[in-house]
Homo-oligomer: A and B are copies of this chain.
Amino acid sequence: MTTTMLRTPIQHCKQCGTKVVYRLPDDGDTKERAVCPACNTVHYENPLNVVGTVPYFGDKILLCKRNIEPRFGKWTLPAGFMELDETTAEGAARETVEEAGAEFEMLGLFTLLNVARVGQVHLFYRARLLSDQFNPGTETIEARLFAEDEIPWDEIAFRTVKETLERYFADRRSGVFSIHCVDIV
């Protein structure tokens, strides 16, 4: 995950800079929004997608030790905020290059996890590593392969990563990978 994106309330209009007011817009909307009293711009805030991969090499999984907050020093799957002008899979691949410097083939969607409490949807794709050599970027202290019995379960950075890893190993045992939809409450 590349960026801590704190949701601080919108204070000023992004179009004209006037101080906004929070009220119901005039279009029948039923939620209060930051509305500009000068130019009438309505500011929407919506959930963010976090996209990443489960990169595997044989029976091992690639994890990255975080060199950034939050969860500095904890282990994660490569993932980060989806950007404009990319698909979910393209964003997941980009993050895997940025955070692990891995070479891989993208496979199918594996988990979709809702984290409504923080306004996020996390999507992980399976990715088949083509090499066990990695060239991690500055956001990663170390990129390393782990067999299932080596996974540092108590040192996993995010709940969505833990849930994804658990389902990956369960599906691998069953011999069939399906798509898992999970709500993190």
* A28 contacts B by Cβ under 8 Å: yes
State in angstroms the CA–CA spacing of A184 and B183 once bound together: 27
0/1 string, A5-28, CB within 8 A of B gives 1:
101101111111111000000011
Interface of A is mostly: loop
7 examples of A-B residue contacts, CB within 8 angstroms: A3-B44, A5-B44, A14-B14, A17-B17, A46-B84, A47-B82, A179-B179
State in angstroms the CA–CA spacing of A140 and B150 once bound together: 55
* A119 contacts B by Cβ under 8 Å: yes
* A109 contacts B by Cβ under 8 Å: yes
A38-54 interface (Cβ within 8 A of B): 43-49
* A133 contacts B by Cβ under 8 Å: no
